[in-house]
C-alpha cells in the first residue's frame, strides 16, 4: 500500500520522473532483491525503478535518449533567455528584478532537466545524482520565487529595494540548500534522517515529496489567489486576469500530460519518446503567458504612471 511520500508508483508508472534518479542510487547500493526487474544493467538503464516503460540510455540499442525533450528543453532555454532580456528592458515596471530572477531560475532548471531526464548519464552514477539533487533544489527555489513575485506585487514592501530583495534571495537560497541536501542524503544515505527508504521498495521520502510536489502546488495556488485579488479588486481590470487563467491552465495541462499521458506516449512510441517533451512545452508556454500577464499590469518607462496598488 502506497503511503504519503512514497515514490514507488511514480517511479514505476511515470517515465522520465526526475527524482527516481535519487532512489535508483539508493536501491543500487543496497543490492535489493526486491528490484530484480529494475531497469538494469545500470550502464544502459533508462529512468525509473521497475519502470513499465522507459527510454534506454543514449547510445545503447540505437537509443537517442530522451531526444524530444532534449530538443524542447534547448528551445525553451532560448525562449526563456529572450524573456529575461525583454524583462530587463522594462526599467520602470514593478517587480522587474524579482520577475527576472524567477525567469533566470526557470532558465537554470532547463539544462538541468535536459541532463537529468535526457538519458545521457549512467543510472546510479555520482554525476547524475548530484545534478538531480541540484535540479531539485533549483525547482524548490523557483516556486518560492513565484510566490515572492506575488507578494512583491502587493507592494507591501517596495520592489527592487533591500527590504524586498534580501528576504527574496535569502529564502530562495534556503530552499535550494535544504532541498539539495535532502536529495543528496536520500541517494547517499549520509544520515538516517532523510534516507534510506524503509522499506526499500517504497522509495519513500516525505521531505522530498513535500518540497518537489506539495510545495510547488501550494505556491501556484497562492500565487493565483494573490494575483486574482490584485487584478480584480485592486486594479479593477479583467483583461490581465485572462492571461493568469491561461497560464494556470497551461501549467495544469502540463502536469496532467506528465502524469497521465507520459506512459501512454512512451508505450505508443516503443520507448523512443515519452510525454515529457509535451509537458516541458506547456510549462514554458505557461511561463511565457505569465510574462504577458505581468506586462499587462505594469508600465515600461518612467514617463508613464507605474502600477502601484494601494
Span 218-232, mean pLDDT?
A: 96
How confident is the model at residue 195, as a pLDDT?
Answer: 67
More confident residue, 167 or 310: 167
pLDDT at 44 over 80: no
Sign of the dihedral through C-alpha 3, 131, 144, 298: negative
Span 31-42, mean pLDDT?
A: 53
* 6 DSSP β-pair partners: 204
Distances in Å between the Cα of 90 and the Cα atoms of 49, 298, 304 are: 46, 9, 12
Question: Residue 33 gets which letter from DSSP?
Answer: G
Poorest-pLDDT segment among 13-27, 35-49, 124-138, 176-190: 35-49
pLDDT at 308 over 50: no
Distances in Å between the Cα of 283 and the Cα atoms of 180, 189, 253, 286 are: 22, 32, 9, 5
Scanning the structure block, which residue is given the C-alpha cell 512514497?
Answer: 6
How confident is the model at residue 309, as a pLDDT?
Answer: 45
Span 71-79, mean pLDDT?
A: 98
Which residue, among 278, 263, 273, 280, has the nearest Cα to 15 in the 3D structure? 263
pLDDT at 302 over 60: no
Span 96-114, mean pLDDT?
A: 97
pLDDT at 33 over 60: no
Distances in Å between the Cα of 125 and the Cα atoms of 60, 108, 119 are: 17, 22, 12
pLDDT at 279 over 70: yes
Which residue, among 204, 190, 170, has the nearest Cα to 27 in the 3D structure? 204
At 130-187, the pLDDT tens digits run 999 999 999 999 999 999 999 999 988 888 899 999 999 999 999 999 999 999 999 9
Which residue, among 124, 269, 239, has the nearest Cα to 188 in the 3D structure? 124
Reported as a pLDDT band with limits 50, 70 and 90, residue 300 is low
Cis previous bond, 196, omega within 30: yes
The CA dihedral of 208, 142, 82, 87, to the nearest 10 degrees, is 170
Sign of the dihedral through C-alpha 128, 130, 136, 139: negative
Span 85-110, mean pLDDT?
A: 94
How confident is the model at residue 30, as a pLDDT?
Answer: 63
Q: Which fold has domain 8-296?
A: Rhopdopsin 7-helix transmembrane proteins (1.20.1070)
Within 10 angstroms of residue 93's Cβ, the number of other Cβ atoms is 23
Whether the CB-CB separation of 231 and 156 falls below 8 Å is answered with no
pLDDT at 305 over 60: no
pLDDT at 87 over 60: yes
Report DSSP letters for 200-259, one per residue. GGG-B-HHHHIIIIIHHHHHHHHHHHHHHIIIIIIS--SHHHHHHHHHHHHHHHHHHIII
Poorest-pLDDT segment among 6-15, 25-34, 227-236, 242-251: 25-34
More confident residue, 307 or 109: 109
**CA count, 13 A, side-chain hemisphere, 263:** 13
pLDDT at 107 over 60: yes
Start-to-end C-alpha separation, the chain:
51
How confident is the model at residue 192, as a pLDDT?
Answer: 82
Amino acid at each position: 500500500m502506497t503511503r504519503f511520500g512514497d515514490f514507488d508508483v511514480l517511479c514505476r508508472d511515470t517515465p522520465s520522473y526526475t527524482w527516481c534518479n535519487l532512489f535508483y542510487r539508493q536501491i543500487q547500493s543496497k543490492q535489493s532483491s526486491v528490484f530484480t526487474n529494475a531497469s538494469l544493467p545500470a550502464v544502459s538503464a533508462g529512468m525509473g525503478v521497475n519502470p513499465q516503460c522507459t527510454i534506454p540510455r543514449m547510445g545503447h540499442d540505437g537509443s537517442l535518449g530522451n531526444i524530444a525533450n532534449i530538443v524542447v528543453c534547448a528551445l525553451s532555454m532560448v525562449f526563456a533567455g529572450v524573456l529575461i532580456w525583454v524583462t530587463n528592458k522594462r526599467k520602470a515596471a514593478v517587480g522587474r528584478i524579482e520577475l527576472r530572477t524567477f525567469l533566470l531560475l526557470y532558465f537554470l532548471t532547463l539544462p538541468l532537466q535536459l541532463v537529468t531526464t535526457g538519458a545521457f548519464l549512467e543510472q546510479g552514477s555520482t554525476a547524475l545524482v548530484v545534478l538531480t539533487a541540484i535540479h531539485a533544489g533549483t525547482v524548490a527555489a523557483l516556486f518560492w520565487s513565484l510566490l515572492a513575485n506575488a507578494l512583491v506585487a502587493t507592494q507591501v514592501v517596495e520592489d527592487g529595494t533591500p527590504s524586498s530583495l534580501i528576504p527574496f534571495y535569502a529564502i530562495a537560497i534556503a530552499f535550494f540548500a535544504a532541498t539539495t541536501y535532502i536529495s543528496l542524503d536520500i541517494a547517499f544515505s549520509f544520515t538516517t534522517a532523510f534516507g534510506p527508504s524503509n522499506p526499500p521498495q517504497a522509495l519513500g521520502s516525505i521531505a522530498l515529496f513535500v518540497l518537489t510536489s506539495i510545495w510547488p502546488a501550494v505556491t501556484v495556488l497562492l500565487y493565483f489567489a494573490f494575483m486574482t485579488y490584485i487584478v480584480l479588486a485592486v486594479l479593477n481590470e479583467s483583461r490581465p486576469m485572462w492571461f493568469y487563467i491561461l497560464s494556470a491552465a497551461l501549467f495544469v495541462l502540463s502536469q496532467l500530460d506528465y502524469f497521465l499521458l507520459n506512459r501512454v506516449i512512451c508505450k505508443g512510441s516503443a520507448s523512443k519518446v515519452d510525454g515529457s517533451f509535451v509537458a516541458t512545452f506547456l510549462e514554458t508556454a505557461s511561463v511565457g503567458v505569465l510574462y504577458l500577464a505581468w506586462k499587462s499590469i505594469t508600465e515600461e518607462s518612467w514617463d508613464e504612471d507605474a502600477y502601484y496598488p494601494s
